[in-house]
Structure formats: structure tokens, C-alpha cells
Amino acid sequence: MTTDSPITDEAARDAGVEVKPVAGHIGAEISGVDLAADLDDTVIAAIRAAVLRWKVVFFRGQRLDHTGHVAFARRFGETVVLPRRGKASPPDFPEIETTADRLELGGRFGMEHDEWLRRRRHTLLRGWHCDHGARIDPPAATILRAETVPPHGGDTTWSNLAAAYAGLSASLREFVDGLRAEHRLGVGYQPRPGDDAYVRHLLDRQVASLHPLVRVHPETGERILSVNGYYVEQIAGLSRPESSAILDMLLEQAVRPEYTVRFRWEPGSVAFWDNRATMHLAPGDTAHLGHPRIMHRVMLAGDVPAGVDGKPSEAITGTAPGRW
């Protein structure tokens, strides 16, 4: 996702776009826009500027279908085509992943969905993540569309990692600026006793990268606290006890309520977030409701993160820029 030119709040209003912040550090609701329409470049610029400023933006009452969803995403960058998806994803739209696929995942490995979820979130912080954070080039942004949601529950929460970094003391910022952490697929999963088919699945498809613990945002220049509850377990150059203590402290900082926003979904809602500057927590309160929650996402291709020293991330295994 790239910025062609800055746009002022006044220019956005002139284009008929209203951006209304919904929390102190993150999140804004955008109205006056029909995402299924052929949007003017000024409107696209206003949305792009709002995403960069507020990290996640929300649209309500949209009438996007799969074609419109992909077309809208392409106005902001190259869309990711996933080589492997579940049966719920639309076969004719390789850019779209339907999140109901995740409900099937545990069953393929002998687990009910609630057990699979518990093993991925066996601590309070484990569920927080950015999309595909173990890749050398995590997606720049994600656009998620709600088709069917429960009558209650199912909210998603996001955290502003730029604000979390800025909220650290100056001494701690200086310390973490020079650190790097290994992001690895599946390190947050708690194995089942005995043979675990899901662990074998993860090992067969291992993905890992060494990312700066503080990355510089390629468009805004902000310093981003690049922590991740699900993919990160070890800071390079530190012992495991040191690494664990520092990561827990940084994760707790990142998800402090003042740096977060929680969104109540409705059918037709769309959330568009900067995956480089946020992490999010998918809901864990819907399995017992007996009501479907069907969401569709499209991701935009990202770049290789760079640290404060300008040094880029390093691929460890199973990942290469632009190759999914």
C-alpha cells in the first residue's frame, strides 16, 4: 500500500468523505463512501490517508460482493493470491480467504474448534497477531468484510503499535531499537499430549523470519513496536528467561486499553487495517453461540521490514519476498 500524495481533512470533506475517530489512538469510522462504486482518486487518497493515520478504518452498510471486494483492494496495491485455502473460500477468487476455513482447521487434525482455539491461546496474550507475521514480507494491509455475524459477540480488537512504542520510556525505546526477534509459525501453539497431527502439519510447513523488534514504517516513518503474541517467542542474542520477560512486558504494553479499539461487526461491515502498524485479536467468544460467522478477507502485498538501523529482516526458512 503506497501513498501517492497527502490529503487534508478539508479535501476529504470536499470529496464527500467523513472520517470520524472512534478511539484516542486508533480507529476511525468512514461514512459517505460506497465501496462498490467506481471511486474517484480523491476518495481513494482520503481512505489511504485515514488508514495510515488511524491504523484501522471501518465502513458500515456496504454491499460488496467478491468482485467488488477484490476491485476495491486493488486500488490500494497488489493483492495477495494464496496458494492454499479451505473449502469455504470462493474458488473463482484466489485473492479471497473466507475465515470460516479456520473453523474447519481443527477438525482436520482431530480437534473440535474450541480445543484448537484454546491451544492457540493458552495465555492471555497469545491470540494477538499481525497477519502472516512469520513471513519475510508480511502483508501491508488487510481488508475484511462481514457477510454473516452472530447476534452478539464476535468483535475484533486492534492495537496501535506505533502508539505503544511511543508510550515506552526513552531508555527502553533506545534498548529495544537495536533488538531483533525470531517470528516462527506455530510457536504459540500448545501441543496435545502424545502424537499431535497439527504439530506435524506446522513442522512440514515451517515459516520463520528474523525481524527487527522495532521497524520503521515505510510510508509514515513511525517506529513500530513489532511484537506478536502468536509468532514471536525468542529475541536474538538474549537468554530465554530474558527474552520471555521482555516480550511479556512489551506485549502487555502493546495491548494496553488506551492503545486499542474494539469493533462490533454487522453484515456489510468492512474493516481496513495497516498490518505493518497494528496487531489484532480475533474473537474467541462465538464457538458456543451456534450461529455462523462468515468473513472474507483480501490482503495487500507488503515489503520486507527494516529496523531503525536500516537493516532489513532476514528469512530463516520457508519464506521469500513475493512468494506465497
Q: Which residues form the catalytic set?
A: 129, 131, 280, 297
Question: What whole-number distance in Å separates Cα of residue 223 and Cα of residue 142?
Answer: 20
Question: What whole-number distance in Å separates Cα of residue 156 and Cα of residue 253?
Answer: 19
Spatial contact of 252 and 159, defined as CB atoms under 8 Å apart: no
Lookup: cell for 243 = 527474552
Question: What whole-number distance in Å separates Cα of residue 169 and Cα of residue 115?
Answer: 39
Q: What is the DSSP letter of 252?
A: H
**Closest to 203 in 3D by CA, of 191, 186, 188, 228:** 186
Query: CA separation (Å) from 58 to 223, 247, 266, 271, 304?
Result: 24, 30, 11, 5, 27
Q: What are the DSSP calls for 124-159, one per residue?
A: TTTT-B-TTTTSSS--SEEEEEEEE--SS---EEEE
Residue found by looking up cell 516480550 in the block: 247
Question: What whole-number distance in Å separates Cα of residue 257 and Cα of residue 150?
Answer: 24
Question: What DSSP element (H or E) covers 315?
Answer: strand 314-317
